[in-house]
Amino acid sequence: MKMNAAQIERTLQKLNTEALNAQAIPAEHPLVPQLERLFGSHTYILDARGLSIVEPIEEGEADGRLGMGVSLARWTDDTGQSLQPHQPEATATVVDLETDSRQ
């Protein structure tokens, strides 16, 4: 899913409380079209674990307001210079996607 600015901020705050040094890849970054060809239209996040996205948790489980981190690629070594894609894997990260404008 593509997240709005508030959702990105909430996600980064959550990941950074887990000491993951997360940052969103800007939509205008030249790598985004290639990522979208491989994985679809999402907001992409790089952190200490690798490349991930956030997907909404099923409506019946959380009324659509929670998202779960999904890992798409891991760093190949400790230098953080190269990623190795893998099958999407759910992570333990859960983010409240509800923005203040809905309150």
Give the per-residue pLDDT at 100. Answer: 59
Residue with tokens 């307001």: 65
Backbone angles phi, psi at 97, to 5 degrees: -90, -5
CB 97 within 8 A of CB 10: yes
Query: Euclidean distance between the first and final Cα of the chain, in Å?
Result: 21
Q: How far apart are CA 26 and CA 11, in angstroms?
A: 14
0.85 cut: is pTM over it?
Answer: yes
Instruction: Output the tens digit of pLDDT for each of the chain's 103 residues.
Output: 999 999 999 999 999 888 789 999 999 999 999 999 999 999 999 999 999 999 998 765 556 689 999 999 999 998 888 999 999 999 999 999 886 544 4
